[in-house]
Structure 1
Amino acid sequence: MPALLVGCQAAVAVAFAGSALAKVAGRAAYADFRRWLARTVRVPAWAAPLAVAAEAGTAVAVLVPATAAFGFGAALALLAVFTAALASMIRRRVRVPCRCFGAGRRPPGPVQVARNGALALVAAVGGVSAAAGAEIVWTAAAVAPPVAAGAALGLLLAELEEIVELAR
């Protein structure tokens, strides 16, 4: 159970930290995110720093043992909001690329919904493990494999849109 918790922590932290960083990777990236948020998602542009802070805070919270369960709950809440926004865009037939996890190249669709669902499953499993009080033995040999696997999963989920596009 500790290895599962560590893997979930790494996956959620990598996905959310990567998403937050992609949005603030430069003035142009941040300006694009603010415009996209206001025009496409129909959320006021002033909410952009709140979204970035929520993602970054979630990435940190899942890594801290005292706040891990809260962090996983925050991840689930954010993913619910993100998925609702995706559903709205899909329903409105929005053709603008999704900026949910950085600068996507494809309009919102099933790939982004599947990504959010998979990440929500990881967050739920992590939340249950954290709430159960899994004891982690902090040695490199015990932590390295689940950290590597979780980080790879987080990166895979964050880049799922690009991976599916390459497969096509």
Structure 2
Amino acid sequence: MGYVALGIRALIGAVFLASSIGKVTGRGAFGRFVSSVGDMRVVPRHRARAVARTVVTAEFAVWPALTAPVPAVAAAGFAVGAGLLVVFTSGIALSMRRGARTPCRCFGVSASPLGPRHIVRNLVLTALAVVGAVAVLVSGPVDPGGAAVAVLGGLLLGALVATLDDVLDLFRPVHRPSGPARGR
């Protein structure tokens, strides 16, 4: 269980690191996140900035907790992360039900509209966070080589999760404007 705990700590930690940093880094990133929170039509628009601040603050608490050497602190990080993911999933589902097509600013930059894949992603991450919380509390000793592999694997999967919208957008069909063909 030690390697599972390390791998999931790295994965969930990388996801929340990318998420929190992505929402506040770069010109206008936080403003775009605030707009997307308001556009979701889940909270009143005048509350969007306060909700966005709360989300970013909570996300900034998750990843440092997961790096803590004290198992109880790491388990608390997993619990906060799982709670956030449940709230995010509920918000996305409600937003979709209300017909909102706001961009996912989950990691700050993607313009992909929120959809079922975001719900599935969050449900998988929630399940992993729960497994991670249990694993970190019952973990035994690990050898350094295996630990390095587990952490590296978790970081790579976390990076994939954080860039998944961009990767999937590469495979979307290109829509060309209709009209007369040019250059023939």
Could you state the TM-score of these two structures normalised by the residue count of structure 2? Answer: 0.83
Instruction: Please say if 1:28 is aligned against 2:28.
Output: yes
> How many Å separate the matches in 2 of 1:124 and 1:3?
15
Q: How many residues align?
A: 166
Instruction: Please say if 1:38 is aligned against 2:43.
Output: no
Q: Which runs of 5+ in 2 are unaligned?
A: 173-184
Aligned to 1:62: 66
Q: Which amino acid aligns with 2:98?
A: R
Instruction: Please say if 1:96 is aligned against 2:97.
Output: no
Answer whether contact 1:15 1:157 (CA < 8 A) is retained.
Answer: yes
After TM superposition, the structure 1 = structure 2 runs for residues 1-168 of structure 1, keeping only pairs within 5 Å, are 1-40=1-40, 41-42=42-43, 44=47, 45-66=49-70, 67-132=73-138, 134-137=139-142, 139=144, 141-168=145-172
Q: Which amino acid aligns with 1:106?
A: S
Answer whether contact 1:82 1:100 (CA < 8 A) is retained.
Answer: no
The SS at the match of 1:89 is helix
Q: Which amino acid aligns with 1:112?
A: H
State the Cα deviation string for residues 54-82 of structure 1 (Å, max 9, x = none). 11111111121321111111111000000
Structure of greater Rg: 2
How far 1:100 sits from its partner (Å)? Answer: 2.1
Q: Which amino acid aligns with 1:90?
A: M
> How many Å separate the matches in 2 of 1:103 and 1:3?
32
Q: Which amino acid aligns with 2:136?
A: A
RMSD: 1.7
Report percent identity of matched pairs. 35
> How many Å separate the matches in 2 of 1:22 and 1:35?
15
How far 1:27 sits from its partner (Å)? Answer: 3.9
Answer whether contact 2:19 2:108 (CA < 8 A) is retained.
Answer: yes
> How many Å separate the matches in 1 of 2:77 and 2:65?
5
Q: Which one is further off, 27-36 or 1-10? A: 27-36
How far 1:154 sits from its partner (Å)? Answer: 0.9
Could you state the TM-score of these two structures normalised by the residue count of structure 1? Answer: 0.90
Answer whether contact 1:13 1:58 (CA < 8 A) is retained.
Answer: yes
The SS at the match of 1:7 is helix
